[in-house]
Amino acid sequence: GRPAAEAPRAEQLAERLRAQKREEKREVPQEPAQRRVRELAMLSRRLQQVHPNVLAKILKEGTLFQNEEIVVINKPYGLPVHGGPGIKNCITDVLPILAKMLANMKAEPLHLCHRLDKETTGVMVLARSKEVADRIRLLFKTRQVEKIYWAISLGEPDPAEGVVEIPMVEKEVQSHQSHYKMTLAPNYRLRPEDGREVRTRRDRGAESAVTRYRCLASAAACSLLELQPITGVKHQIRVHLAYGLGCPILGDHKYSHWSKLAPQKLPEITLRRLRLQQSKARHLPLHLHARRLCLPLGQQLDLVCKPPPFFQKTLEKLELNISKD
């Protein structure tokens, strides 16, 4: 039969899983706010467990726009674009199913044109043919696509609008558990003698990164920001806000500190408004939403997507009232 060592290991694993289930049952919070936060954490886990056909149907129902060249979907929270270890469901895998659901049966699979992080929600463009996909990828690459994001951040940026233009690079963080993060690689530093700015040697691995930002509303120690990434570096908005402006995105547990992997620490007033205890803050989702894309494809397509319900609820609770423009 099996090697003797494997049996106890499997047994331990099963017991751990049972314990985890018991823990989850016991831990269902009575507080509505905390229940909702838990539900979101569950939601992205559930998206991993549904049948690919169900996932395709969810995406189909969130279709924002389609014509003979493209299909624009509203990407759900917590759904990765690409597969990887431990990932059963991702957008790439359901594209052939989605294509069949949207068109007559002879649909060829849809093609990805750009990516969004797993936690980001909002406007995502899929092409109906490889040629169109290549055309759109080139538009992204040559920066002809205007991208607007919304984020809820901790703190208020000062000044209230401006441009963050600081190169970025990926570095290994040495801490009790070492991990990789994107970080800033500025071209300048302040001279200790007199505080003057001096140019430094460019980090060879660094990519230039530019983000425009504008504060739309502030309340409860948070802000609603409108962001326009001019470049497309990995995690650019998250890093520019956290390390460039000192205003990390609400629910960004990765970039709220440099050296540790710990839940974001929220100000007292924010916790009160969200009716949340600090210990539950680790369940808060990332509040970053791809709000609109302007795509010059023949005519200028203006594709807009309203934030998901959890994002809107947070806006209401924090009383971040955006003036209707």
Catalytic residues: 117
Question: Which tokens hold the place of 190?
Answer: 């302040």
Cα→Cα distances 40→21, 25, 251, 282, 310, Å? 17, 16, 12, 11, 8
Angle between helices 32-49 and 309-318 (to 10 degrees): 160
Contact between 242 and 249 (Cβ < 8 Å):
yes
Among the listed residues 237, 236, 242, 240, the one whose alpha carbon sits nearest the alpha carbon of residue 255 = 242
Contact between 122 and 113 (Cβ < 8 Å):
no
Among the listed residues 229, 238, 66, 63, the one whose alpha carbon sits nearest the alpha carbon of residue 147 = 229
Contact between 286 and 248 (Cβ < 8 Å):
no
Among the listed residues 242, 131, 227, 138, the one whose alpha carbon sits nearest the alpha carbon of residue 182 = 242
